[in-house]
Structures are given as structure tokens and as C-alpha cells.
Amino acid sequence: MIAAVLVVVGLFGGACSTEQPTPAPQEAATVEPVTVDEVAPVQVSVGSATSVRVPVEVASGFRVQANPASNQFLVPLELALEAVDGVEIGDPVYPEGQPYRLQGTDEDLSTYQGDIEIVVALTVPDSAPVAEHVVTGELRFQACNSKVCLFPSSVPVTLRVVVTRESP
């Protein structure tokens, strides 16, 4: 019985492990698996809508689970933004994931790597105050290399939305 448990853990440990990979000493302090590039301020007139592209960079050697994730036990990349007075936030639109297979497994995962963009619709109602609004939130993810997955983590996201009376 114990041997069977050890075999199962050995087979799936790499795919589900939460162990931190051991980076080279110079990489440990400098490589973040996921970063969000700064988004230029977005100008929107009262009573209109626009979309904003949130640029995400997955560091070389890492992948993150796509949204939706391949199965319910994986943590998908997820952008959560908090609405502010005068700016309504739509559901994020994620790019299509790419298939990837971890070493030692026989199932493809849907993942992202490299540079991707998440598109978010912003709507400004007629009653919105004319001002600069700061929308904050976080990008949650679970990064993996070819052998293990890191603990789920998140990075902050900030969008500046300038509401005006005239068209941008």
C-alpha cells in the first residue's frame, strides 16, 4: 500500500508539486516569473466605452496556466480589477492557451509563455465624474518550469483612466 502511494506521488509530483525550483544564485533575486508592464493612461469620454490591453510577460523558462485552466486543480491566470466610481470594468478576455506537456506526464496543459495581452473593456456612464481614476487589482497565476509548479502568486496591476467630456 505504501509503495503504491509512493508510485502515485512520484508520477504526479512533478505536475502538481508546489516545490520552489532552485534557481542559480544570480537568478534568485532578479527573475520574477510574471510581470505586468505599465499601461499608458487611457482617455475615455463620458458616456462611452473603450478597451485596454494589459501586457503580461512570462519570464523565459516559465509558463503559466491559461484561462480557462486545463483542469479544476490548476490555478489559471486571472486578472481581477476593482471598479471605481465612474469606471465600469468588463470581464477580461484572455488569449488562447498553447498546449504544453510537463516532463513525466502524458497530458497536455493549456498554458501561456512569453508576452501576452489581456483585454479589458471599460465603460464610463453619463454620470461619471470628470477626473483621473485609478483602477487597481491583481494578476493571479501559477508559474511552472519544465519540472515543477511554484506556489500560486500575484502581482499588482494599476490602470489610469482619464474621464473627459470630449472625445479622445
Give mean pLDDT, residues 37-57: 94
Give the whole-angstrom CA distance, residue 35 versus residue 21.
18
pLDDT of residue 93: 98
**Domain boundary assignment for the chain:** 34-164
- The pTM (predicted TM-score) of the whole model is 0.78
pLDDT beyond 80 at 10: no
Homologous superfamily, domain 34-164: Thiol:disulfide interchange protein DsbD, N-terminal domain (2.60.40.1250)
**Predicted confidence (pLDDT) at residue 21 exceeds the cutoff of 60:** no
Question: Is it the case that residue 104 has pLDDT exceeding 90?
Answer: no
What's the pLDDT score for residue 30? 53
Q: Inform me whether the pLDDT recorded for 149 exceeds 70.
A: yes
pLDDT at 23: 47
